Amino acid sequence: MKKIIVFIVFLIILLFLVSCQQRKTETPINAALVKYLYVWNGGSLDSLDTITSENFQLRINPTFEPITGRDKLKESISRTRYVFPDFNVKENEIIILSDTALVLSWVISGTYQNPQDSTNYGKKTESPGFSVIFFNEGILTGEWIGYSDLTWYKNLGYELIIPEKKGKNKK
């Protein structure tokens, strides 16, 4: 009898734990983030009109110089998709930092299709990275993108060549 009671208690605790697993609650920022990734992955640029602020600020390594404005964001995404028509952002993890920022880790990939560069045309590349995405009341206000552009370009066949030393110290 004691074993049956222990088993029933164990079963109740197990059912409780299973039913209390974290569920993704649909919040305005989750919905906006899903739409935002959809746009980067080939969705309509016009979708940005309802999920981004007009003064959206994009910063990308290596310079992190601000690219300001929704139209500039659309241009940046459009240029990326012109050269990499199958450009894809695959989400790994989302960490909510506060009620105005989150971190998204991802892997980006694509096939180089720049018609002006036949040397690397058709080569595939990918690189891990992350974004810090800023938002206010469910509207995306900015993104800082960090990734290994060296990895990205090496996959396309580029090499990093150390310049020769000039002058007296040349060996």
Give one DSSP letter per residue of 24-53, joined into a string: ----HHHHHHHHHHHHHTT--GGGHHHHEE
Give pLDDT, residue 26: 53
In whole angstroms, give the CA distance from residue 11 to residue 80: 53
Read off the CATH number of the domain in which 130 is found. 3.10.450.50
In order of 38, 103, 114, the CA distances from 118 in angstroms are 29, 36, 7
Give pLDDT, residue 45: 93
Residues of the chain with pLDDT under 50: 6-7, 9-11, 14-25
Let me know if residue 15 belongs to a domain: no
pLDDT tens digit sequence for 108-119: 999 998 888 888
Let me know if residue 1 belongs to a domain: no
Let me know if residue 3 belongs to a domain: no
Let me know if residue 62 belongs to a domain: yes
Q: Please name which of 72, 40, 78 lies closest in space to residue 55, comparing C-alpha atoms.
A: 72
Q: State the burial class of residue 156 (Cβ atoms within 10 Å of its Cβ: 0-12, 13-18, 19+).
A: middle
Give pLDDT, residue 169: 59
Peptide bond connecting 85 to the previous residue in cis, omega within 30 degrees of 0: no
Give pLDDT, residue 171: 53
Domain count, the chain: 1
Entry pTM? 0.75
* Domain ranges, residue 127: 25-155
Let me know if residue 17 belongs to a domain: no
Give pLDDT, residue 69: 94
